[in-house]
A and B are shown apart, each in its own frame.
Chain A
Amino acid sequence: MERRLWQHLDWPLLLAVMALTCVGLATIYSVTWNLATGAPGSEFWRQAYAVPVGLVALIACVLVDYRTLAQRSPFFYVAMILALVAVMVFGVEAKGSRRWMSLGVGSLQPSEFARLALALILAMVYGDARRGARSMGELMVGALVLAPAFILIFLQPDLGTASMLLPVYFGIAYVAGLRMRWVVGAVVVAAMLSPVVWAYGLQDYQKDRVRTFLDPYKDEKGKGYQQIQARVTVGSGGMLGKGFKQGTQGAYRFLPEGHNDFVFAVLAEEQGFVGVITVLGLYLFVIWRSLEAARLARDRVGAFLVVGLVSWFLCQVVYNITMQAGLVPVKGLTLPLMSYGGSSLVATLAGFGLILNVRMRRFTN
């Protein structure tokens, strides 16, 4: 690769991404620390091994011109659909859903990679069009592309990950020129339909979840437990936090999933509001810096690719962190870059590889 390209690599963005990855790793180290053995838990080591794998994926995604990748996107998309079908058939079942493929050395969660393929193909679909997605027909094309992946992941079942494909689609559609009155109209219709959805569309357990969210103290020991303990975990951190490896809520499992979905709460507990603001700042920096890449992109394919990935990133980060504060219902959604999960980390780093790719090649033809 040309030397000139390396000069255009967005080092501050890469550094911020790696900083968040390291903060996540350190928090997992702390929360899985075993007093008896004096060592971190196995989750830490597995996450640590995923980092170099993710870096390799990132570099691979930087090296090949994103336009080449976009042109090959139908191939990636079909491969992804096949992988999701394979999971349905051969996948490992855990906690009532089939999300993982066993790979001998470890396991792979194909749904984490779906958004990459989706962003690439949607960027190509809308980017290559002469005009933006301004008509209903053009909008429907994207929706048709989205549907198979969404349905396959939804059936695993993994509503959370499936839902997080929607921002990829809507983000790209939005910058591609989606008419604002449709957006407003959709919101109004959704608001009007919500009582109907409540009455007919939701299963009882889903209604329970919403009710629990609205009043977690009604079932303090049961369904409301995580939400309450998340708030206690965060709140007890105070301004400066309890200190590294000094947390109690996560370490003693009063808040379950302290290394995973609730890693941010553990960070808030141990590093306090100061740590929270620092990490929030890093995430905001990553998002703004990535959007800057979209603005600088040489073509619409690049811009849309970045926007699709950033939209997903923004939505999942915000939902997860809002969940730590107990302000949205608890959903099995990880915090990108920080939560435990090899597939998620590798896919996310690969995504940032694509974003770096777009910015780096803004001057090339």
Chain B
Amino acid sequence: MVSPGASGAFGDRQSTESRLIGLRAISLVLFVFLAVAFWVLQVLQYAEHRERAERNHTRTLPLLAPRGVLFDRHGEVLVQSRRSFRIAIVREQAPDVLASIRRLAAITHADEAHMLAILQRRKSDPIFRPIAVIEHATDAQVAAVVAQQLELPEVVVEQVPTRTYPEGGLAAHLFGYVGEVQPSQLLRAEFAGLSQGAIVGQAGVEQVYNTLLMGTDGNRFVNVDSRGREVEELQRQEPVDGQRVQLTIDADMQRALEEAFRADGYNGAAAFIDPATGEVLALTSLPAYDPNDFAAGISSSVWQALNADPLRPLGNRLIQGLYMPGSTFKIVMAIAALEEGIITPDSVIGCRGSGVFYGRSFKCWNTKGHGAMTLRHALEQSCNVFFYTLGERMNIDTINKWAAKLGLVGKTGIDLPQENASFMPSTEWAARTRSDGRWYPGETISVAIGQGAVTVSPMAMAMMMATVGNGGTLQTPHLVKAVDRGQGKGWEPVPPPNPRSTFVMAPDHLAAVREGLWMAVNTPMGTATRRGKIDGKDVSGKTGTAQVISNDNKAAAKAAARAAGRNPAVFDDHGWFVFFAPRDKPEVAGVVFTEHSEHGYLSAPIAKHVMETYFAKKEGRPLPVYQSPAAPVKSVVGPVIAGAPAQGGGR
């Protein structure tokens, strides 16, 4: 290529040409080196660099699925999801996260320490993922952030679906609440695939049916530029809404129930059941909380207050509270004695105001004595001696067997979390747990009127009445009637759970018990003092009181409390009223349990109001308005369960 003396006409051509060759050689070497360098980068290290470039510009942003709407049994919307705003920070975009938070706190008046705590908790999240520091931002906060968007590019406003519950905490313990999934929960199979910060049901129906209600979050795959701004959307995976769930609850009965409780000023629990199916028509536990507080990301002060409240509003008394059944247990004794053949409906037992059993005197509440009476009148007037006598004639294990058939042993199986098991003693239990291993027959006499070692949940009592109401089938209470799985399929009925057990009560036995219960509510002699009576509806029921402290110690304890400046009402008895209606073909059965009301009959007006609502709605009449019989405000603090067995208790 370079030939000496080709052309040109200057001296030193030879030397110049050799140096030009040198320059060519140098340039060739350099370019070969460059070609090799690019080969290494683009061919050998291609995969690594491509992945890095992908990570640079692609982002997966969640599209949160709204939770499924909850309906009542007639299609009224109870709980829904609305859109709300939250303010999040993208740490990747923040040169100084602390400074950004300080600035954000200044413009939104939000709690800086709280936001820093959230960041600390989520610090292992990917750096590009927005972390919500202000949930449910107010319009003013959103406006403040939008106005400062140029100075705070790392702060983003996101739209998120949020749970909305009925106002005033209606049916709080039924719905439960939602909250961020806990780190320990993420390990469970049901929460597989969720990431930190996901909202899941943490109590009530929200928890039990979380899988149905939660839906599936979608995703947006977007390209972002180096400042994290979205350039284009590449792909979109729409979120799938949570499934719509129809509850067995009747919204009007639910409202009537809680209105009546509040008008009377009681705390307590109640449940209304369709005895034929076990569907729950209304249930409550008071005091309660407002699930909306949780939906908005509960503040630590509200959470602490709920936890510290001695009335324990977070506990569900209906399924977690265990109380002595008192005189309501006489229904179990009546059925057990009839079905075991100990008595007939017409057997007569006399009451002289007290009786001696196993060498010890047991009092009737009516110390003058009820005289000779059959089962009907014993139930009507709640005669203790009649049922002491039945207790003397049956052993504890027989009573236990019938209590179990009527649902007073173990859990009811309702689809709510953390139910406590109702308890009935037995000789097996005594042998297992007592130092002398013995059950004393005298204890059976106390159990016969629902005192002593027997403790039941209000829900179990409701199921007992439903079982008496349907003639022997112990249904499993449940809350879900139908589910709409989406895709236009409409409502699919959810098959009810199987009954826990079934027995067929002899018709004359059933009639006798029902009549006794009818008389308790409808006659002047009845213990419910006609407070539960509804004309033409044949409400049948039984009152009872659950002692907080034994009658022998009550006066002393109240005096001590008064002296110490505390409310002596904490030692007042709880009042039971269990019921069904109409007597001969019950459509509704249940329990109303009022704390520290002293008398079971004071629970009856609440039950009556809810049942009147039921019948009015069924017959197309205007819904009744509750007339509170009295206003004895009894929102007092006290032990939920008293331990001391006693005698001579109530009606």
Task: Provide the residues of chain A in CB contact with B56, threshold 8 Å.
Answer: 229, 232, 248-249, 252, 254
Does A295 interact with chain B (Cβ within 8 Å)?
Answer: yes
Does A41 interact with chain B (Cβ within 8 Å)?
Answer: no
Q: Are the CB atoms of A239 and B46 closer together than 8 Å?
A: yes
Separation of A56 and B227 alpha carbons in the complex (Å)? 41
Task: Provide the residues of chain A in CB contact with B19, threshold 8 Å.
Answer: 174-175, 177
**Mask of B396-420 contacts with A, CB within 8 angstroms, 1/0:** 0000000000000000000000000
Which of B10, B28, B48, B224 lies at the interface centre, i.e. has the most chain A CB atoms within 10 A of its CB?
B10
Task: Provide the residues of chain A in CB contact with B49, threshold 8 Å.
Answer: 231-232, 234-236
Task: Provide the residues of chain A in CB contact with B7, threshold 8 Å.
Answer: 296, 298, 362-363
Q: Are the CB atoms of B46 and A295 closer together than 8 Å?
A: no
**Mask of A162-180 contacts with B, CB within 8 angstroms, 1/0:** 0000000001001111000
Does A325 interact with chain B (Cβ within 8 Å)?
Answer: yes
Does B42 interact with chain A (Cβ within 8 Å)?
Answer: yes
Q: Are the CB atoms of A235 and B45 closer together than 8 Å?
A: yes
| Interface locus among A18-26, A43-51, A144-152, A271-279 | A271-279
Q: Are the CB atoms of A252 and B27 closer together than 8 Å?
A: no
Separation of A296 and B28 alpha carbons in the complex (Å)? 20
| Interface locus among B30-38, B108-116, B141-149 | B30-38
Q: Are the CB atoms of B31 and A280 closer together than 8 Å?
A: yes
Top 8 nearest A-B pairs (CB, nearest first) are A235-B49, A236-B53, A252-B225, A253-B226, A273-B42, A235-B41, A248-B57, A236-B50
Q: Are the CB atoms of A318 and B23 closer together than 8 Å?
A: no
Q: Are the CB atoms of B37 and A327 closer together than 8 Å?
A: yes
Does B232 interact with chain A (Cβ within 8 Å)?
Answer: yes
Q: Which of B11, B41, B46 contacts A325 (CB 8 A)?
A: B41
> Can you list 9 contacts pairing A with B, beta carbon distance less than 8 Å?
A236-B53, A252-B223, A268-B42, A295-B20, A296-B7, A303-B8, A307-B23, A318-B31, A322-B34
Does A314 interact with chain B (Cβ within 8 Å)?
Answer: yes
Q: Which of B30, B45, B50, B54 contacts A318 (CB 8 A)?
A: B30
Q: Are the CB atoms of B12 and A177 closer together than 8 Å?
A: yes
Q: Are the CB atoms of A296 and B8 closer together than 8 Å?
A: yes
CB distance from A285 to the nearest CB of B (A): 10
Does A40 interact with chain B (Cβ within 8 Å)?
Answer: no
Q: Which of A132, A276, A294 contacts B42 (CB 8 A)?
A: A276
Does A291 interact with chain B (Cβ within 8 Å)?
Answer: yes
Complex interface residues of chain A between 233 and 260 (CB less than 8 A to chain B):
233-239, 248-249, 252-254, 256
Q: Which of A171, A232, A273, A277 contacts B52 (CB 8 A)?
A: A232
**Mask of A288-314 contacts with B, CB within 8 angstroms, 1/0:** 100110111111100100010011001
Separation of A190 and B643 alpha carbons in the complex (Å)? 96
Task: Provide the residues of chain B in CB contact with A252, threshold 8 Å.
Answer: 56-57, 223-226, 231
Q: Which of B15, B17, B232 contacts A177 (CB 8 A)?
A: B15
Q: Are the CB atoms of B225 and A311 closer together than 8 Å?
A: no
CB distance from B299 to the nearest CB of A (A): 35
5 further A-B pairs in the complex, CB-CB below 8 A; given A252-B225, A276-B35, A296-B7: A177-B16, A235-B42, A252-B224, A252-B231, A300-B11
Q: Are the CB atoms of B43 and A295 closer together than 8 Å?
A: no
CB distance from A8 to the nearest CB of B (A): 12
Task: Provide the residues of chain B in CB contact with A176, threshold 8 Å.
Answer: 16
Contact of A307 with B35 at beta-carbon distance under 8 Å, contacts A235-B41, A284-B28, A300-B10 already known: no
CB distance from A144 to the nearest CB of B (A): 23
Task: Provide the residues of chain A in CB contact with B2, threshold 8 Å.
Answer: 295
CB distance from B154 to the nearest CB of A (A): 14
Does B563 interact with chain A (Cβ within 8 Å)?
Answer: no
Chain B interface residues (CB < 8 Å from chain A):
1-2, 6-12, 15-17, 19-20, 22-24, 26-28, 30-31, 34-35, 37-39, 41-43, 45-46, 48-50, 52-54, 56-57, 223-227, 231-232
Separation of A135 and B343 alpha carbons in the complex (Å)? 139
Does A184 interact with chain B (Cβ within 8 Å)?
Answer: no
Q: Are the CB atoms of B28 and A311 closer together than 8 Å?
A: no
Q: Which of A254, A272, A294 contacts B20 (CB 8 A)?
A: A294
Q: Are the CB atoms of A280 and B8 closer together than 8 Å?
A: no
Q: Are the CB atoms of A322 and B226 closer together than 8 Å?
A: no
Task: Provide the residues of chain B in CB contact with A327, threshold 8 Å.
Answer: 37
Task: Provide the residues of chain B in CB contact with A253, threshold 8 Å.
Answer: 225-227
Task: Provide the residues of chain B in CB contact with A272, threshold 8 Å.
Answer: 42
Q: Are the CB atoms of A318 and B34 closer together than 8 Å?
A: yes
Does A287 interact with chain B (Cβ within 8 Å)?
Answer: yes
Separation of A176 and B17 alpha carbons in the complex (Å)? 10
Separation of A229 and B42 alpha carbons in the complex (Å)? 14
Separation of A299 and B16 alpha carbons in the complex (Å)? 11
Does A283 interact with chain B (Cβ within 8 Å)?
Answer: yes
Contact of A362 with B8 at beta-carbon distance under 8 Å, contacts A232-B49, A273-B39, A283-B31 already known: yes
Task: Provide the residues of chain B in CB contact with A81, threshold 8 Å.
Answer: none
Q: Are the CB atoms of B10 and A296 closer together than 8 Å?
A: no
Task: Provide the residues of chain B in CB contact with A294, threshold 8 Å.
Answer: 20
Separation of A282 and B10 alpha carbons in the complex (Å)? 31
CB distance from A179 to the nearest CB of B (A): 11
Separation of A291 and B18 alpha carbons in the complex (Å)? 12
Does A31 interact with chain B (Cβ within 8 Å)?
Answer: no
Chain A interface residues (CB < 8 Å from chain B):
35, 130-132, 171, 174-177, 229, 231-239, 248-249, 252-254, 256, 268-269, 272-273, 276-277, 280, 283-284, 287-288, 291-292, 294-300, 303, 307, 310-311, 314, 318, 321-322, 325, 327, 362-363
Task: Provide the residues of chain B in CB contact with A307, threshold 8 Å.
Answer: 20, 23
Separation of A174 and B56 alpha carbons in the complex (Å)? 46
Separation of A272 and B49 alpha carbons in the complex (Å)? 13
Task: Provide the residues of chain B in CB contact with A229, threshold 8 Å.
Answer: 56
Q: Which of B15, B31, B34, B53 contacts A233 (CB 8 A)?
A: B53
CB distance from B52 to the nearest CB of A (A): 5
Contact of A273 with B43 at beta-carbon distance under 8 Å, contacts A235-B50, A297-B8 already known: yes
User: B15's closest neighbor in chain A, by CB?
Assistant: A177
CB distance from B116 to the nearest CB of A (A): 22
Q: Are the CB atoms of A238 and B231 closer together than 8 Å?
A: no
Which of A35, A236, A299, A307 lies at the interface centre, i.e. has the most chain B CB atoms within 10 A of its CB?
A236
Separation of A289 and B22 alpha carbons in the complex (Å)? 14
Task: Provide the residues of chain A in CB contact with B15, threshold 8 Å.
Answer: 132, 177
Q: Are the CB atoms of A284 and B27 closer together than 8 Å?
A: yes
CB distance from A155 to the nearest CB of B (A): 30
Task: Provide the residues of chain B in CB contact with A35, threshold 8 Å.
Answer: 231-232
Which of B22, B34, B52, B232 lies at the interface centre, i.e. has the most chain A CB atoms within 10 A of its CB?
B34
Separation of A174 and B12 alpha carbons in the complex (Å)? 13
Q: Are the CB atoms of A291 and B53 closer together than 8 Å?
A: no
Q: Which of A284, A287, A299 contacts B9 (CB 8 A)?
A: A299
Task: Provide the residues of chain B in CB contact with A249, threshold 8 Å.
Answer: 53, 56-57
Q: Are the CB atoms of B231 and A295 closer together than 8 Å?
A: no
Contact of A295 with B6 at beta-carbon distance under 8 Å, contacts A235-B50, A307-B20 already known: yes
User: A322's closest neighbor in chain B, by CB?
Assistant: B34
Contact of A291 with B24 at beta-carbon distance under 8 Å, contacts A252-B57, A254-B56, A280-B31 already known: yes
User: A127's closest neighbor in chain B, by CB?
Assistant: B10
Q: Which of B27, B57, B224 contacts A314 (CB 8 A)?
A: B27
Task: Provide the residues of chain A in CB contact with B226, threshold 8 Å.
Answer: 252-254, 256
Contact of A298 with B9 at beta-carbon distance under 8 Å, contacts A249-B56, A254-B56, A311-B23 already known: yes
CB distance from B6 to the nearest CB of A (A): 7
Separation of A268 and B15 alpha carbons in the complex (Å)? 39
CB distance from B28 to the nearest CB of A (A): 7
Separation of A43 and B296 alpha carbons in the complex (Å)? 49
Separation of A299 and B6 alpha carbons in the complex (Å)? 13
User: A237's closest neighbor in chain B, by CB?
Assistant: B42
User: B48's closest neighbor in chain A, by CB?
Assistant: A235
Separation of A256 and B37 alpha carbons in the complex (Å)? 22
Separation of A327 and B53 alpha carbons in the complex (Å)? 19
Separation of A322 and B2 alpha carbons in the complex (Å)? 29
Separation of A282 and B195 alpha carbons in the complex (Å)? 53
Separation of A177 and B49 alpha carbons in the complex (Å)? 46
Q: Which of B9, B16, B17, B38 contacts A234 (CB 8 A)?
A: B38
Q: Are the CB atoms of A287 and B27 closer together than 8 Å?
A: yes
User: B44's closest neighbor in chain A, by CB?
Assistant: A235
